[in-house]
A = this chain, B = another copy of it.
Amino acid sequence: MPEHAAHFVIECENAPGPAVLVCEHASNDFPSPWGGLGLNDAQRQAHIAWDPGALGLARELAQRLGAPMLHGTASRLIYDLNRPPHSPAAMPERSEVHEIPGNLGLSTEERLRRTEAIYIPFHAALSDLLARRLAVGQRPVLITVHSFSRIYFGQTREVEFGILHDADDRLARAVAARDVGLETRLNEPYSVADGVTHTLARNAMPLGLASVMLEIRNDLLARSQVSMAERLAPVLQAAIEEVA
């Protein structure tokens, strides 16, 4: 694969709905020239490599909301698209309890190579997609779709559905105000203080667009991404209409 190959896909780019969906951690693929970073099979299947179930949910939501959906196609351990290039978490040396051998002591050349190959094109594509919609008079909202692990650092998490926001909390509060029949928390299990709202901050905030980051516990997605989408889509639709 040439180094300039795109490590993202846009599905339904011209879908007419007001939402734009993003799934940064969709993939646990480890494409060349990086390969598996010295991880074993179990680690490459684990949540440290990706958000299991998030892509399926994002795709089902996009279909129900009539939304374009942009997703990454390389593991976040190669480059975490939801982090800027100077964040230690962009190309992490450790993730949860795991050391990432292929990320230890990266040279500036390698950091630049991954930034140029993965981070820059992804955010350029998202930014372009939003700008083109604004140019023709649409007013998109940005929704990012993530999943999180029930067990983290040995602790069990009770939260099932986390609704996270950056500085603009309009859409998050509109979603949180509605009952989805899940253990729902605002800004859990992560929040802006953990640096997890970069995609929102970079792409929605400067354009004044409402945005929200959704975190669904991955054991629920393992059961059915379709039923979770059926549960969430009407709530998202109503929340989008509320902030429009």
Known contacts: A127-B124, A128-B120. The answer to whether A135 contacts B85 by CB under 8 A is yes
Which residues on the B side are within 8 Å of A119 (C-beta)?
A: 131
- Whether B127 pairs with A123 at a CB distance below 8 angstroms is yes
Please, which residue of chain B has its CB at the minimum distance from the CB of A138?
Answer: B86
Number of copies: 2
Known contacts: A84-B207, A205-B206, A206-B84. The answer to whether A120 contacts B115 by CB under 8 A is no
Please, which residue of chain B has its CB at the minimum distance from the CB of A111?
Answer: B135
Residues 132-149 of A at the B interface (beta carbon under 8 Å): 132, 134-137, 139
Which residues on the B side are within 8 Å of A123 (C-beta)?
A: 127
Which residues on the B side are within 8 Å of A127 (C-beta)?
A: 120, 123-124, 127
CB distance from A236 to the nearest CB of B (A): 22
Does A235 reach chain B (CB closer than 8 Å)?
A: no
Does A44 reach chain B (CB closer than 8 Å)?
A: no
* Interface 0/1 of A33-66, CB less than 8 Å to B: 0000000000000000000000000000000000
Please, how many angstroms separate the alpha-carbon atoms of A134 and B85 in the complex? 6
Which residues on the B side are within 8 Å of A131 (C-beta)?
A: 84-85, 115, 119-120
CB distance from A90 to the nearest CB of B (A): 8
- Whether B124 pairs with A136 at a CB distance below 8 angstroms is no
Does A116 reach chain B (CB closer than 8 Å)?
A: yes
CB distance from A118 to the nearest CB of B (A): 11
Does A150 reach chain B (CB closer than 8 Å)?
A: no
Residues 68-87 of A at the B interface (beta carbon under 8 Å): 84-86
Which residues on the B side are within 8 Å of A120 (C-beta)?
A: 127-128, 131-132
Please, how many angstroms separate the alpha-carbon atoms of A206 and B84 in the complex? 9
- Whether A137 pairs with B207 at a CB distance below 8 angstroms is no
Which residues on the B side are within 8 Å of A206 (C-beta)?
A: 84, 198, 201-203, 205-206
- Report the 3 A-B pairs with minimum CB-CB distance, sorted nearest first: A202-B206, A115-B135, A85-B135
